[in-house]
Structure 1
Amino acid sequence: MDGAERIPPVPRVAVAHALWAGIDFDRYFRWRREREGDPFFVRFPGFGAALFTGTGSGAMELFRAPVEVLAPPLPNPIEPLVGSASLILARGVRHRQERSLLAPAFHRDRIRHYGMIIRDSVRAELDGCGRGVAWRSGARVDARVAARAITLRVILRAVFGLEDDRRRAEYTATVVAFLTAFSGPLMLVPALRHSVFGHGPWDRFLAARARLDALVDADIAARRAGGSAGADILDMLLAARYEDGTAITDADLREQLRTLLVAGHETTATSLVWALYRLHRQPETLHRLRAELAGAGADAEPEELARLPYLDAVCQETLRLHPPVPIVLRRLTGPFTLGGVALGAGDTVGLAMPLLHSDPEIWADPGEFAPERFLERRYGPFEFAPYGGGHRRCVGAPLADYELRIALATILNRVELALAPRYARARIPLSVPHNIATGPHAGITFDVRSARTVSE
Structure 2
Amino acid sequence: MSTLPPGPARLGLIDTLRSAIGSAAPVLRRLAAQHGDPFRVGSFNGPMILTGNPEAIRAVYTADPETFEPFAVDISEPIFGRTSVVVTSGARHRRDRKLLAPPFAPAAARSYAAVVAEVSREAASQWRSGKEFSMLETAQSIALDVVVRVVFGVEGEARVRAVRAAVLGLIESLSPMILIMPALRRSFGGFGPWARMRRASAALDALMTAEIRARRASGEERSDVLGLMLKARYEGGEELSEREILDQLRALLFAGHETTAVTLVWAFYWLHREPETLSRLLAEIDALGGDPAPEKLLGLPYLEAVCQETLRIAPPVVSVGRVPKKPFTLLGYTIPAGEPIIPSPLLLHGRADLYPEPERFRPSRFLERDFSPFEYIPFGGGSRRCLGATLAMVEIKIALGVLLREHRLRLASKTPVAHVQRGITMGPSGDVPMILEGRRVPSRSSAPPSEMKMDLERQSDVNGRGR
Aligned to 2:286: 294
Per-residue CA shift, 1:105-157, capped at 9, x if unaligned? 01111112101011111011111xxxxxx123112111111111111211221
Aligned to 2:416: 427
Report the Cα distance in structure 1 between the residues aligned to 2:383 and 2:115, rounded to whole angstroms: 29
Aligned to 2:120: 122
Asked whether the 8 Å contact 1:22–1:433 carries over to 2, the reply is no
Report the Cα distance in structure 2 between the residues aligned to 1:8 and 1:244, rounded to whole angstroms: 49
Secondary structure of the residue aligned to 2:188 is coil
One-letter amino acid of the counterpart of residue 440, structure 1: P
Alignment partner of 1:407 out of 393, 399, 413: 399
Report the Cα distance in structure 2 between the residues aligned to 1:65 and 1:73, rounded to whole angstroms: 16
Report the Cα distance in structure 1 between the residues aligned to 2:4 and 2:266, rounded to whole angstroms: 40
Alignment partner of 1:52 out of 35, 50, 54: 50
Report the Cα distance in structure 2 between the residues aligned to 1:61 and 1:151, rounded to whole angstroms: 34
Aligned to 1:89: 87
- Residue 196 (str. 1) matches residue 188 (str. 2): yes
Identity over aligned residues, as a percent?
A: 39
Aligned to 2:318: 326
Task: Map 1:365-444; keep pairs closer than 5 Å.
Answer: 365-421=357-413, 424=414, 426-435=415-424, 437-444=425-432
Per-residue CA shift, 1:250-296, capped at 9, x if unaligned? 11111011112222222111110000001111111111111111111
Asked whether the 8 Å contact 1:39–1:54 carries over to 2, the reply is yes
Alignment partner of 1:136 out of 119, 128, 132: 128
Report the Cα distance in structure 2 between the residues aligned to 1:60 and 1:327, rounded to whole angstroms: 17
Asked whether the 8 Å contact 2:7–2:31 carries over to 1, the reply is no
Per-residue CA shift, 1:57-86, capped at 9, x if unaligned? 111111111111011024443221110111
One-letter amino acid of the counterpart of residue 292, structure 1: E
Aligned to 1:347: 339
Per-residue CA shift, 1:163-202, capped at 9, x if unaligned? 3122212222221221122122222333333333321122
Secondary structure of the residue aligned to 1:442 is coil
Asked whether the 8 Å contact 2:314–2:419 carries over to 1, the reply is no
Aligned to 2:435: 447
- Residue 230 (str. 1) matches residue 222 (str. 2): yes
Task: Map 1:146-185; keep pairs closer than 5 Å.
Answer: 146-185=138-177
Q: 1:286/1:8 Cα in 2 relative to 1: closer, same or farther (>3 Å)?
A: closer
Report the Cα distance in structure 2 between the residues aligned to 1:217 and 1:315, rounded to whole angstroms: 35
Report the Cα distance in structure 2 between the residues aligned to 1:212 and 1:441, rounded to whole angstroms: 29
Report the Cα distance in structure 1 between the residues aligned to 2:390 and 2:152, rounded to whole angstroms: 19
Q: 1:163/1:230 Cα in 2 relative to 1: closer, same or farther (>3 Å)?
A: closer
Asked whether the 8 Å contact 1:184–1:433 carries over to 2, the reply is no
* Greater shift in the superposed pair: 185-194 or 286-295: 185-194
Asked whether the 8 Å contact 1:8–1:49 carries over to 2, the reply is no
Q: 1:26/1:5 Cα in 2 relative to 1: closer, same or farther (>3 Å)?
A: closer
Secondary structure of the residue aligned to 2:96 is helix
Secondary structure of the residue aligned to 1:369 is coil
Q: 1:163/1:418 Cα in 2 relative to 1: closer, same or farther (>3 Å)?
A: same
Asked whether the 8 Å contact 1:274–1:322 carries over to 2, the reply is yes
Report the Cα distance in structure 1 between the residues aligned to 2:257 and 2:170, rounded to whole angstroms: 13
Secondary structure of the residue aligned to 1:305 is helix
Gaps of at least 5 residues in structure 2 are 443-467
Alignment partner of 2:246 out of 251, 254, 258: 254
- Residue 108 (str. 1) matches residue 97 (str. 2): no
Report the Cα distance in structure 2 between the residues aligned to 1:348 and 1:288, rounded to whole angstroms: 42
Asked whether the 8 Å contact 2:419–2:426 carries over to 1, the reply is no
Asked whether the 8 Å contact 1:302–1:406 carries over to 2, the reply is yes
TM-score (norm 2): 0.90
Q: 1:8 offset after TM fit, Å? A: 6.8
* Greater shift in the superposed pair: 115-124 or 292-301: 292-301
Alignment partner of 1:79 out of 67, 77, 80: 77
One-letter amino acid of the counterpart of residue 429, structure 2: H
Task: Map 1:20-35; keep pairs closer than 5 Å.
Answer: 20-23=18-21, 24-35=23-34
Q: 1:158 offset after TM fit, Å? A: 1.5
Gaps of at least 5 residues in structure 1 are 128-133
Q: How many residues align?
A: 441
Asked whether the 8 Å contact 1:38–1:339 carries over to 2, the reply is no
Report the Cα distance in structure 2 between the residues aligned to 1:80 and 1:147, rounded to whole angstroms: 24
Report the Cα distance in structure 1 between the residues aligned to 2:392 and 2:98, rounded to whole angstroms: 19
Asked whether the 8 Å contact 1:3–1:342 carries over to 2, the reply is no
Secondary structure of the residue aligned to 2:310 is helix
Q: 1:34 offset after TM fit, Å? A: 2.2
TM-score (norm 1): 0.92
Per-residue CA shift, 1:201-245, capped at 9, x if unaligned? 222112111111111111112112221313322221112111222
Asked whether the 8 Å contact 2:4–2:335 carries over to 1, the reply is no
